[in-house]
Amino acid sequence: MMEKVLGRDKPKWKVAPKRVPADDCIITVEGEEIAVHKGEWIEIIPVGTLRTYTALLRVQNLVLDDSDSQVLHDLCEEVAERVIAWNFTGLDGKNLAKPYQNARVIEGLTSEEVAWIVKILQGESPGERKKDSEPSEQS
């Protein structure tokens, strides 16, 4: 569940940031699903920009090769504009650098972590979707 973040030492944002638990951020390693950010959180500005929307569309339509690295970099820059804080640790257990306006730290995440953040920025965490969705029929 998302909750508003209030604090005296936080910048005064025109739109209140939201804190989202990262317990459902999962990566897969050799077929095993691992909740790498259990107990951690992410704070976002819950308003999208046209640049973010465009970056997402470009990523969805590409076939990855060397020429697409700029598209991925652009997406990471847009993510870094909306992720204003977190208490994420890396795969080594050490605290990650602050994400706000730091595309390089976003680029250092796994593709699954970035995909999870993008879903959060689109207004839905994967855990919320699973909890609220109807079970699909098995054939």
Asked if residue 133 is part of any domain, the answer here is: no
Asked if residue 9 is part of any domain, the answer here is: yes
In whole angstroms, what is the distance from residue 68 CA to residue 1 CA?
34
Asked if residue 8 is part of any domain, the answer here is: yes
Nearest to 4 by CA among 18, 24, 23: 18
Q: Could you read off the pLDDT of 78-129 as tens digits, one per residue?
A: 899 999 999 999 999 999 999 999 999 999 999 899 989 988 988 765 555 4
Q: What is the mean pLDDT of residues 9-23?
A: 85
Asked if residue 16 is part of any domain, the answer here is: yes
Asked if residue 24 is part of any domain, the answer here is: yes
Contact between 35 and 24 under an 8 Å Cβ cutoff? The reply is yes
Domain range enclosing 88: 3-124
- How many structural domains comprise the chain? 1
pTM of the model: 0.75
